[in-house]
Amino acid sequence: MSSKPDRKIAVFPGQFDPITNGHLDVIQRGRRLFDELIVAVGINPEKKELFPIDERLEMIESLLKDKPGVRVQKFTGLTVDFVRECGAVAILRGIRDVSDLRYEFQLALANRAVGGVETVFIMTGDQYALTSSSLIRQIVSLGGDVKQLVGLLPDIVVKRLQKRQKKGFDRPAPDAPST
């Protein structure tokens, strides 16, 4: 008697503000390891947002629309709770350097202890090792030339950043907390 094996689902959580080619690299390679990969877009209250969550979802969905086995979903709350709700077997995380590894290692241990959820790490491609959404947000918010980010970011993100830069970044994003 043969039975159909359980589907292996993983969650790739992040703020993705903005999504980078490094994120897309991890998604592309991660989808080969799992039957389904959920790109879980969350809000980090400790970080100032560049793009509202709905705009991030729209960009990510347009970039992944032709990728079978990948879906994009918004989430709030603890990642481990979301992972369990999805029936996922693992959290997928990208590692760029030793600093990432140290931070992600602590998170992975906490997620396993608190939620019984395993973490799978993928080393990012060499060409993306120095790319971070936080650095990109800083460059853009300080008036850096968005054209210099071509190659690090998908075209749709570069275009949206250029559009937002023309309007000005001094207004908080619509879903950002007011101070």
Is 166 a residue of the active site? no
Is 167 a residue of the active site? no
Catalytic residue among 31, 56, 93, 96: 96
Closest to 61 in 3D by CA, of 79, 39, 76: 39
Catalytic residue among 7, 8, 47, 74: 47
Is 74 a residue of the active site? no
3-state secondary structure the chain: CCCCCCCCEEEEEECCCCCCHHHHHHHHHHCCCCCEEEEEECCCCCCCCCCCHHHHHHHHHHHHCCCCCEEEEECCCCHHHHHHHHCCCEEEEEECCHHHHHHHHHHHHHHHHHHCCEEEEEECCHHHCCCCHHHHHHHHHCCCCHHHHECCECHHHHHHHHHHHHHCCCCCCCCCCCC
| 174 preceded by a cis bond (ω within 30 of 0) | no
Is 84 a residue of the active site? no
Catalytic residue among 31, 56, 93, 133: 133
Catalytic residue among 23, 31, 93, 160: 23
What residues act catalytically? 23, 47, 96, 133
